[in-house]
C-alpha cells in the first residue's frame, strides 16, 4: 500500500500526520502539534521532572466562614494572586495556627520553588521562591528539588521557555488552565552543571534588577502627572480623612431635592475635592457646555453571522482596552472585531481627538469613568467602533484642547471624584452621565492648555520608553540564556 500523503492544498500549519507510536499519552492535536514544534534540544543532559523533583506538596484554604482561622493570623497564606514576583516576601492574606491545623493547607519552609498549578494564564508558567515560611492554597504546589538543581535555575528556565512548555504540560478546564501532572512529570528539561545554572541565575537576576529600576523610574514619572496638573491649575486637594467624625456629615435637603439620596455624593471627602477645584482662579464651565457631539456606542454583530455590505468590520473598543496609565491597549490578542452597521457608524462619526468615556463596568477597586482619546495613530491603524458600555464626546476645540481635557478627566478619575458620579446595580457600576456632564472643568487659556497637555504627553512618552527599555533588557537576557542552554 502506498504511503499516505496530504493534499498540497492543505494548510500544514493546521493539519499534520503523526504515527500512533509517537503519540505520548494524549490524543490531543494541540498537544501533539506543540510536541513536534517545541522540542528543546540542549548540550546538557535532559532529565524528567519526576527525576529532579523529590516531592511536591499542595495546599488548601481554611474555611472563610470561621473567623478564628483568619482574624489576627500571622502566617502568610499564598494563592495565585500573590505569585507576581520571583521572590515572595509577603502575601495579601494571613491565617492563624488554628487555620493551618483545621484545613488541608501546608506551611512551606523558606527558599523553595512554588509553582502555580491551577488558574494559570495562557502561555505563562508562574513560579516564585518563598523568602519566608508560608502556607499555600490548593492552586499552588511546592516543589522540593534534588541536590543537582538550584530552585532559582528551574524558576528562570520556566520563565524563559514558558511559552514553549505551556502547551505540553497544561489542560484547559471550563474557564482556566491547570497543569496536567502526568505530562508535567514526564517533561524533559536540560540540567547543566550547577556552575552553569548559577551563571544563568546571575544573568537573569542582573537583568531583572535593571528592569525593576527602569520600571520604578517610569512609575515615578506617571505618578507625578496628577500633582503637576493640579499644581498648574492652582488646586490643592485636602488630606483624606477617614475618621469616624469626618464620615458623619450633614447637608441641606434643598441640595438633595430631586437628586440622589446617596451619601457618597455629599460626604466630606467628596465635597472637599469639589471645593478645592472650585477655588481655581481659571474659568469653570460645565463639561456639557464644551461638548458639540455626544453619542453612545454599539456592540455590533458577530462576524460569523451572514451580513451584507451594509456592515463594516471594526475593532470595537470596550472597557477592557482602557489603560489606567496611558490611553488604549489595542496591540494585544484580546481585542474584539465586530460588524457595525454603516448607518450607525455614520451616527457615531468617529474622528481624531474624540474622547471615549467608560460608563459601565468597573470593580470594587476601580470606579467607572475612565477616559481615552482617539489619536491619529489609532485611527490610521484601525477602523474603530466602541461598545454600548462606552460613551463618546467631541468638544469645541476653539474653547478647549481635547488632549488637555483628556489629561484633566484622567486626573478626575485618579483622585476618585468619579466615585461620586456612579451608581451600582447587580454588581455593575454605572456612570451617571448627567452628573459627569455637569462637573466643572478648570479652563486656562488655550496656550496654557496646550503647554499642560504637551508636558504630560512628554512624561507619558518617557515612561513608556523606560518600560520598553526594561522589557528589552530582559529579552536580551533571555536570548543569552537560550544560547547557553540550547544546542
What does the alpha-carbon distance between residue 345 and residue 385 come to, in Å, rounded to a whole number?
7
∠ at Cα 193 (189, 196), nearest 5°?
95
What does the alpha-carbon distance between residue 297 and residue 478 come to, in Å, rounded to a whole number?
43
HSE of 310, CA atoms in CB hemisphere, 13 A: 7
What does the alpha-carbon distance between residue 469 and residue 199 come to, in Å, rounded to a whole number?
23
pLDDT at res. 422? 87
**pLDDT single digits (tens) 322-369:** 998 999 999 877 899 999 999 999 999 999 999 999 999 877 677 889
**pLDDT single digits (tens) 202-225:** 999 999 999 999 999 999 999 999
Q: Which three cell numbers stand for residue 2?
A: 502506498
**pLDDT single digits (tens) 86-140:** 999 999 999 999 999 999 999 999 999 999 998 888 888 999 999 999 999 999 9
pLDDT at res. 1? 47
**pLDDT single digits (tens) 324-334:** 899 999 987 78
pLDDT-based confidence at residue 264 (cuts at 50, 70, 90): low
Q: Do 229 and 478 form a contact (C-beta atoms < 8 A)?
A: no
Q: What is the mean pLDDT of residues 237-252?
A: 61
What does the alpha-carbon distance between residue 126 and residue 129 come to, in Å, rounded to a whole number?
11
Q: What is the mean pLDDT of residues 173-194?
A: 89
How much of the chain exceeds pLDDT 70, in percent? 85
pLDDT at res. 64? 94
What does the alpha-carbon distance between residue 285 and residue 443 come to, in Å, rounded to a whole number?
7
pLDDT at res. 426? 63
pLDDT surpassing 60 at residue 34 = no
pLDDT at res. 309? 85
Q: Do 418 and 410 form a contact (C-beta atoms < 8 A)?
A: no
Q: Which three cell numbers stand for residue 387?
A: 461598545
- Fold held by 283-443: Adenine-n6-DNA-methyltransferase TaqI; Chain A, domain 2 (3.90.220)
**pLDDT single digits (tens) 473-487:** 999 999 999 999 996
How much of the chain exceeds pLDDT 90, in percent? 71
pLDDT surpassing 80 at residue 159 = yes
Q: What is the mean pLDDT of residues 271-295?
A: 95
pLDDT-based confidence at residue 151 (cuts at 50, 70, 90): very high
pLDDT surpassing 50 at residue 258 = no
pLDDT at res. 146? 95
pLDDT at res. 50? 95
pLDDT surpassing 70 at residue 12 = no
What does the alpha-carbon distance between residue 322 and residue 237 come to, in Å, rounded to a whole number?
26
pLDDT at res. 121? 83
Residue ranges of the domains in the chain?
Answer: 20-191, 194-219+446-487, 283-443
- Block residue for cell numbers 498549578: 117
pLDDT at res. 223? 96
Q: Do 392 and 440 form a contact (C-beta atoms < 8 A)?
A: no
What does the alpha-carbon distance between residue 280 and residue 220 come to, in Å, rounded to a whole number?
26
Q: What is the mean pLDDT of residues 31-46?
A: 69
The phi, psi pair for 293, rounded to 5°, reads -150, 130
More confident call, 19 vs 192 = 192
pLDDT surpassing 60 at residue 21 = no
pLDDT-based confidence at residue 46 (cuts at 50, 70, 90): very high
**pLDDT single digits (tens) 413-450:** 999 999 889 886 666 889 999 999 999 999 999 999 99
pLDDT surpassing 80 at residue 262 = no
What does the alpha-carbon distance between residue 359 and residue 382 come to, in Å, rounded to a whole number?
23
pLDDT at res. 428? 80
Mean pLDDT over the full length of the chain = 88
pLDDT at res. 362? 72
CATH of domain 20-191: 3.90.220.20
pLDDT at res. 457? 97
Q: What is the mean pLDDT of residues 61-82?
A: 95
Amino acid at each position: 500500500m502506498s504511503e499516505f500523503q496530504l493534499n498540497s492544498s492543505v494548510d500544514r500549519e493546521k493539519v499534520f500526520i503523526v504515527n500512533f507510536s509517537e503519540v505520548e499519552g494524549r490524543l490531543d492535536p494541540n498537544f501533539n502539534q506543540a510536541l513536534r514544534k517545541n522540542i528543546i534540544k540542549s548540550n546538557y543532559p535532559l532529565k524528567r521532572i519526576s527525576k529532579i523533583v523529590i516531592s511536591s506538596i499542595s495546599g488548601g484554604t481554611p474555611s472563610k466562614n470561621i473567623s478564628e482561622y483568619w482574624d489576627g493570623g500571622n502566617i502568610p497564606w499564598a494563592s495565585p494572586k500573590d505569585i507576581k514576583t520571583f521572590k515572595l516576601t509577603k502575601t495579601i492574606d494571613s491565617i492563624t495556627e488554628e487555620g493551618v491545623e483545621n484545613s488541608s493547607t501546608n506551611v512551606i519552609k523558606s527558599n523553595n520553588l512554588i509553582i502555580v498549578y491551577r488558574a494559570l494564564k495562557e502561555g505563562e508558567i508562574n513560579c516564585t521562591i518563598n523568602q519566608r515560611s508560608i502556607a499555600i492554597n490548593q492552586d499552588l504546589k511546592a516543589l522540593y528539588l534534588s541536590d543537582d538543581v538550584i530552585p532559582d535555575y528551574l524558576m528562570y528556565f520556566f520563565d524563559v521557555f514558558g511559552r514553549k512548555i505551556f502547551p505540553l504540560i497544561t489542560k484547559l478546564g471550563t474557564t482556566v488552565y491547570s497543569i496536567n501532572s502526568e505530562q508535567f512529570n514526564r517533561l524533559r528539561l536540560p540540567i547543566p552543571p550547577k556552575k552553569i545554572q548559577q551563571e544563568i541565575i546571575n544573568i537573569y537576576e542582573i537583568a531583572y534588577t535593571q528592569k525593576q529600576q527602569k520600571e520604578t523610574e517610569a512609575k515615578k514619572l506617571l505618578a507625578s502627572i496628577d500633582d503637576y496638573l493640579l499644581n498648574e491649575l492652582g488646586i490643592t486637594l485636602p488630606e483624606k480623612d477617614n475618621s469616624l467624625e469626618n464620615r458623619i456629615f450633614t447637608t441641606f435637603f434643598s441640595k438633595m431635592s430631586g437628586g440622589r439620596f446617596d451619601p457618597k455624593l455629599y460626604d466630606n471627602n467628596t465635597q472637599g475635592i469639589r471645593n478645592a477645584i472650585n477655588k481655581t482662579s481659571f474659568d469653570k464651565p460645565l463639561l456639557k457646555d464644551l461638548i458639540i457631539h455626544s453619542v453612545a456606542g454599539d456592540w455590533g454583530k458577530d462576524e460569523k453571522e451572514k451580513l451584507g455590505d451594509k456592515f463594516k468590520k471594526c475593532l470595537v473598543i470596550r472597557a477592557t482596552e482602557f489603560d489606567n496609565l496611558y490611553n488604549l491597549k489595542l496591540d494585544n490578542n484580546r481585542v474584539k472585531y465586530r460588524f457595525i452597521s454603516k448607518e450607525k457608524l455614520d451616527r457615531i462619526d468617529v474622528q481624531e481627538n474624540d474622547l471615549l468615556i467608560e460608563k459601565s463596568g468597573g470593580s470594587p477597586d476601580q470606579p467607572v469613568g475612565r477616559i481615552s482619546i482617539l489619536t491619529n495613530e489609532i485611527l490610521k491603524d484601525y477602523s474603530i467602533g466602541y461598545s454600548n458600555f462606552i460613551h463618546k464626546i467631541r468638544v469645541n476645540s476653539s474653547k478647549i484642547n481635547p488632549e488637555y481635557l483628556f489629561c484633566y478627566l484622567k486626573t478626575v478619575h485618579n483622585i476618585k471624584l468619579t466615585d461620586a458620579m456612579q451608581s451600582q446595580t447587580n454588581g455593575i457600576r454605572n456612570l451617571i452621565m448627567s452628573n459627569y456632564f455637569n462637573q466643572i472643568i478648570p479652563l486656562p487659556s488655550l496656550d496654557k492648555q496646550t503647554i499642560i497637555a504637551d508636558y504630560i504627553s512628554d512624561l507619558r512618552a518617557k515612561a513608556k520608553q523606560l518600560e520598553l527599555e526594561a522589557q528589552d533588557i530582559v529579552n536580551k537576557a533571555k536570548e543569552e540564556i537560550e544560547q547557553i542552554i540550547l544546542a
